[in-house]
Amino acid sequence: MKKIATNTLATLVLVGMMSLASLNVAALADHKTDDKQRLKRLERVYQHHDRKHELRASVLGISADELREQLKVKSLSTVVKKHGFRDKLSFYTAVTGKLKEELRRRGWSERKIDEHFQKRLARLTNAVSRPLVLSV
């Protein structure tokens, strides 16, 4: 797998965890569009950083070439189900877990990961809660 920068890796884990936490599993079954769009956005983020399919293929237990060939013929949902995942949500949960495990392998403790995420979340909430100032 191509080495992803550690800060990028941490950001991917943060985005994955936030996206998965905001998804309502029951709503996905009811075909709620907001949750499907969130899952689609998460899918795009992972596709962008895993252009060669190495990360996603390793979660499925196949080679990147095999995954590419299967995706030419079948949808990701079908491929994911074929390899033992219930749906794309559980697959992306596993991908996020694999990314988090890579952070641990690079020397990040669970405490450091949690502290990093809390700092990032605090910055995000402060940025959102501040009033928007426009100058003309």
The string of pLDDT tens digits covering residues 22-46 is 775 555 556 567 778 888 888 999 9
Which range in 15-19, 21-25, 86-90, 124-128 is most confidently predicted, on average pLDDT?
86-90
pLDDT for residue 131? 63
- Cβ contacts of 14 within 8 Å, gap of 6 or more: 116, 117, 120, 121
Query: 27: which DSSP letter?
Result: H
